[in-house]
Amino acid sequence: MTRRRPSPPDPSLATARIPLHAPALQLFPVIHEDDELLVLHKPAGLVCHPTKGDAYSSLIGRVRLHLGTASEPQMVHRLDRETSGVMVFGKTPAAALELRQAWELGLVTKEYLALVHGAVSDSHGVCEAPLGKDEGSDIAVRDRVRPDGASARTRWWRQRVFERPEGTFTVVRLRLDTGRKHQIRIHLAHLGHPLVGDKLYGPDPDAYLGFVQRRLTAEQRTQLLLPCQALHAGHLWLPWRGEEREFTSKPEPWFTAFAHGETVPWIDDPFDPLRPGP
C-alpha cells in the first residue's frame, strides 16, 4: 500500500463543533454512516466496552441505542477510555469481518495528536521499545517497557512547543506501526514526555487508583492539569470498496484550549458508570 504523506503541522488544533466537554446524554457525534459502516467520534472519558452501568455508560451500548435493539454492531478496534477520536464499527457481520481483515493485514493507518510534558527537542523520531506487563505494579492493567516484551513501534513528529504558567509542553503527532495496549502512552513516558493528564503513566503513581476509587485530591487534580489524558485519534485511513477512505475528527475543545494557553476547568466524570442515564 502506498505510504501516506505526513499531515501538515498542527493539522487539527481548531475548535471542534462539540461543547467544552461532550455532554453525557449525547450519544456521540457521527462522522459517517451507511448500510455497512458507522464511523463516529468517541468522546474522551467514555469506555468502549460494556460496564455495570446502563446502556449509556459505554460506547457499544450507545451504538446499540443509535442503531436500534435489533442491530448487531461489532467493534473491531478500540480506544482507551480517556482517548477521544475516530472509531469504526461494522453494522453487519460481513462488514465487521472485512474490517478485521484490513486491521490484521496492516492496511489501516491511525494518526494521533498528543499534548506532552516538556519541550521535545528532536523534530521527529521512532520509539521501538518492547512492551509487557508491569509485574511490579499493584495496578493490573499497567504495562511497561521491558526487554522481553512484545515488539512495539511508534513514529512521532514534533508539531509545536508552547508555554503555559504550569510549564513547557509540546504538541506531538504520532502513528502506530504496531497496536500494543497503551503503546503511545508508555512510549511517550519512556521518552521522558508523558501525556498531560495521564493518570496511569504520569508522575503520580496513585492518580489512577485515586480516580477509579473516586478519591482524587485537589493536589492530584492540579498536578494532572486535565481531567482526561491529552490523546486524540484524529485521522483514520482504511481501504474500503475499492478506494482508500479517510475519516477525521477534530480534538475536543478542552484539548485545543489547553494547547492555546487557556484555562480548562476540571469537571466531574460525565460518563461515570454509576451515574444513571436519561
Sequence length of the chain is 278
Using CA of residue 159, residue 254, residue 20, residue 261, what is the dihedral sign? negative
Q: What is the mean pLDDT of residues 219-231?
A: 96
User: Does the annotation count 80 as an active-site position?
Assistant: yes
The confidence score (pLDDT) of residue 276 equals 58
* Residue 39 grid coordinates: 464511523
4: Cβ contacts below 8 Å, ≥ 6 apart? 109, 237
- Per-residue pLDDT tens over the stretch 40-80: 999 999 999 877 667 888 999 999 999 987 888 999 999 99
- Closest by alpha carbon to 233, among 97, 21, 31, 27? 31
Level-2 CATH architecture, domain 30-253: 2-Layer Sandwich (3.30)
- Closest by alpha carbon to 267, among 216, 232, 231? 216
DSSP structural state of residue 56: G
Q: pTM of the full predicted structure? A: 0.89
- At 216, the pLDDT band (50, 70, 90 cuts) reads very high
Selected catalytic residue, list 35, 80, 204, 272: 80
For 14, 251, 256, the CA distances from 17, given in Å and listed in that order, are 9, 10, 12
- Closest by alpha carbon to 183, among 240, 122, 87, 110? 110
CB of 156 closer than 8 Å to CB of 174: yes
- Closest by alpha carbon to 89, among 112, 106, 113, 65? 65
The confidence score (pLDDT) of residue 3 equals 43
Mean pLDDT of the residues in the chain: 89
Map residue 20 onto helix, strand or coil. Answer: coil
149: Cβ contacts below 8 Å, ≥ 6 apart? 129, 130, 131, 132, 143
- Per-residue pLDDT tens over the stretch 11-38: 445 443 334 444 445 799 999 999 999 9
Give the separation between CA 269 and CA 271, rounded to whole angstroms: 5
The confidence score (pLDDT) of residue 277 equals 57
Neighbours of 103 (CB within 10 A): 14
- Per-residue pLDDT tens over the stretch 79-138: 999 999 999 999 999 999 999 999 999 999 999 999 999 999 999 999 999 999 999 999
The confidence score (pLDDT) of residue 53 equals 66
Residue 255: which region, alpha, beta or left (left: phi > 0; alpha: psi -120 to 50)?
alpha
Give the separation between CA 249 and CA 79, rounded to whole angstroms: 14
195: Cβ contacts below 8 Å, ≥ 6 apart? 114, 115, 116, 117, 184, 185, 188, 189, 201, 202, 229, 230, 231
Parse the chain into domains and list their residue ranges. Answer: 30-253
- Closest by alpha carbon to 156, among 174, 181, 142? 174
